[in-house]
């Protein structure tokens, strides 16, 4: 049964955004971000600014995910931003993996030249790499902190930004600086480390699914797609509305590679020295981009209630100045009544848009910002003690008129319904866009051919689950189609079959897709 039932509009409204998903998905994505005022490109090439509306979403990610990490015994800490070059290159694959995109600090002051311009001065004896990830610098601390098996497991995390010098940035998806959390752990046994990799991975799935309402396929990366230096990499792959894949979070089992590189040794229970087994795992501001591309529509952002910085926005409509005080007083009363409710362990977040602009503008701005519930209050509502309520998940223009008591009694259930509806819509897209009937390279080319323009910018068309024989060289044929093996799904079918690329016998099932 639907709480607070709403009447759909008599005719659909024109899309609020200048570009629709259908017309041009990448432009639509930029339009959603711009109209919801989430982020912008900065004057520093490749670097974005997270504007207050965008940061508020990231702040919710931090506030809600951090306690989940702590429940695993993870401790927050903060490690240097810089990595001495010689440390950075201690693990060969790792260094190679990141060498092409690191910012390098070479000087430690500026001096005025003869033209009165500041130029770099005081060269450093050893250059410093701005962290692209912190295995090395945290490994260095671990090597000092860990002595005995009693010091293990050690589970550390930091919330910070990292830098990978991306020269073709796209807001949220690919920027030279991005924000993330990065967890790093050390264990006494390979089994314990692998178990921890799975635990963090399960946590990501729980958070992304339940809080961001983003369905995912979970799986393991094939060797060539692993994190540089990892022995195993697990990924959550989410499907965007253009059917491309986006890696939402990853969890890596690093074996003893980094422990050997950084000297993370401990005395085991038998008194012998052993290298620790380490893991790392992270989730970044990309996840906000994923959430946008999964849920937003042609009217702008749609925020799942559980991640929304505000669940409810009250829009006072004031046609005449003399009516202001009574409308605002009623709006305040409604806010107080709703703010007293609890929503998933925190007070329901309710805002009033008290700006002195037209009611219609307020309404459209709230739509474009994706606020789950809107409540309009004008002089008529004050008279009748009613509220005009709209849900962001129903077609724009749907409305219902309810008493404050009705809203108070049902708002939490309606928000839960909305959370479920957004998830179910995304799950339906995912389910209906995975093909298991494509078995040969020709079929694959035919399926993706139509959707791939020269830049590889076309839609993703869908995902394909098929057999692969494990031959990495055979993956070359996927490149012109901008396709990659996203993962070996955890629920992969392991029966005997035929490799989609080589036609050889194969048992491994993989997920193939175009990806962000």
- Please say which residue, 44 or 190, places its beta carbon nearer to its own copies: 44
Query: Which positions touch its own copies (CB under 8 A)?
Result: 40, 42-44, 47-52, 54-56, 58-59, 75-85, 87-89, 95, 99-112, 117-120, 127-130, 137, 140-141, 144, 156, 160-161, 163, 165, 167, 177, 179
- Please say which residue, 55 or 227, places its beta carbon nearer to its own copies: 55
Closest contact distance (angstroms) between CB of 140 and its own copies is: 5
- Please say which residue, 355 or 504, places its beta carbon nearer to its own copies: 355
User: Residue 266 forms beta bridges with which residues?
Assistant: 274
Spell out where 100-240 has E strands. 104-112, 118-130, 154-163, 177-187, 216-220, 232-239
Closest contact distance (angstroms) between CB of 310 and its own copies is: 13
Closest contact distance (angstroms) between CB of 244 and its own copies is: 26
For residue 373, report the phi and psi dihedrals to the nearest 5 degrees.
-125, 135
Q: Phi-psi bin for 172: left (phi > 0), alpha (psi -120 to 50), beta? A: left
SS3 category, 478? helix
Closest contact distance (angstroms) between CB of 158 and its own copies is: 8
Q: Which residues contact 321 (CB under 8 A, 6 or more apart)?
A: none
> In this structure, what DSSP letter does residue 9 have?
P
- Please say which residue, 118 or 190, places its beta carbon nearer to its own copies: 118
- Please say which residue, 46 or 370, places its beta carbon nearer to its own copies: 46
Closest contact distance (angstroms) between CB of 4 and its own copies is: 30
Contact (CB, 8 A) for 425 and 417: no
> How many C-beta atoms surround the C-beta of residue 493 within 10 A?
12
Closest contact distance (angstroms) between CB of 410 and its own copies is: 29
Closest contact distance (angstroms) between CB of 76 and its own copies is: 5
- Please say which residue, 50 or 203, places its beta carbon nearer to its own copies: 50
Integer Cα distance of 40 and 390 in angstroms: 29
CA gyration radius, the chain: 26
- Please say which residue, 102 or 216, places its beta carbon nearer to its own copies: 102
SS3 category, 142? helix
Integer Cα distance of 481 and 40 in angstroms: 30
Q: Phi-psi bin for 194: left (phi > 0), alpha (psi -120 to 50), beta? A: alpha
For residue 415, report the phi and psi dihedrals to the nearest 5 degrees.
-65, -40
């Amino acid at each position: 049964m639907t709480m607070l039932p709403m009447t759909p509009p008599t005719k659909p409204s024109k899309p609020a955004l200048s570009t629709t998903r259908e017309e041009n998905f990448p432009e639509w994505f930029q339009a959603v971000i711009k109209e919801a005022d989430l982020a912008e490109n900065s004057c520093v090439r490749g670097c974005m600014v997270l504007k207050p509306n965008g940061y508020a979403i990231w702040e919710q990610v931090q506030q809600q995910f951090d306690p989940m990490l702590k429940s695993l015994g993870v401790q927050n800490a903060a490690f240097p931003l810089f990595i001495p070059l010689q440390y950075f290159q201690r693990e060969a694959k790792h260094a190679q993996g990141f060498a092409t995109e690191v910012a390098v600090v070479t000087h430690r002051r500026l001096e005025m030249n003869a033209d009165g311009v500041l130029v770099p001065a005081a060269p450093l004896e050893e250059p410093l790499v701005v962290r692209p990830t912190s295995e090395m610098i945290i490994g260095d601390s671990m090597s000092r902190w860990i002595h005995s098996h009693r010091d293990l497991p050690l589970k550390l995390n930091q919330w910070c930004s990292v830098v990978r010098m991306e020269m073709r940035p796209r807001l949220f998806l690919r920027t030279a600086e991005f924000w993330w959390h990065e967890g790093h752990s050390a264990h006494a046994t390979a089994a314990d480390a692998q178990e921890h990799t799975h635990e963090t991975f399960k946590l990501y799935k729980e958070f992304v699914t339940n809080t961001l309402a983003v369905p995912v396929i979970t799986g393991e990366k094939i060797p060539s797609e692993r994190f540089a230096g990892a022995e195993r990499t697990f990924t959550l792959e989410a499907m965007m509305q253009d059917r491309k894949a986006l890696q939402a979070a990853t969890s890596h089992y690093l074996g003893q590679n980094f422990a050997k590189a950084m000297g993370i040794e401990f005395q085991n229970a038998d008194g012998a020295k052993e290298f620790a087994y380490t893991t790392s795992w992270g989730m970044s501001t990309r996840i906000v981009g994923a959430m946008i591309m999964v849920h937003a529509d042609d009217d702008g952002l749609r925020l799942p209630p559980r991640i929304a910085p505000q669940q409810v926005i009250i829009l006072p409509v004031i046609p005449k100045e003399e009516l202001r005080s009574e409308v605002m007083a009623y709006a305040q009363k409604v806010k107080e009544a709703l703010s007293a409710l609890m929503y998933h362990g925190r007070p329901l977040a309710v805002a009033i848009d008290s700006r002195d602009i037209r009611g219609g503008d307020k309404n459209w701005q709230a739509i474009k910002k994706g606020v789950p519930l809107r409540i309009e209050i004008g002089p008529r509502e004050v008279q009748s003690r009613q509220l005009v309520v709209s849900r962001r998940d129903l077609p724009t223009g749907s409305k219902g008129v309810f008493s404050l008591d009705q809203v108070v009694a049902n708002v939490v259930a309606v928000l839960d319904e909305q959370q479920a509806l957004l998830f179910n819509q995304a799950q339906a897209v995912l389910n209906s866009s995975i093909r298991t009937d494509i078995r040969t390279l020709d079929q694959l080319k035919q399926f993706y051919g139509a959707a791939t323009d020269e830049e590889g910018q076309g839609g993703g068309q869908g995902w394909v689950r098929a057999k692969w024989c494990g031959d990495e060289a055979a993956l070359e044929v996927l490149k012109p189609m901008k396709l990659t093996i996203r993962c070996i799904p955890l629920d992969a079918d392991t029966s005997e079959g035929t490799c989609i690329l080589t036609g050889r016998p194969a048992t491994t099932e993989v997920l193939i897709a175009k990806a962000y």
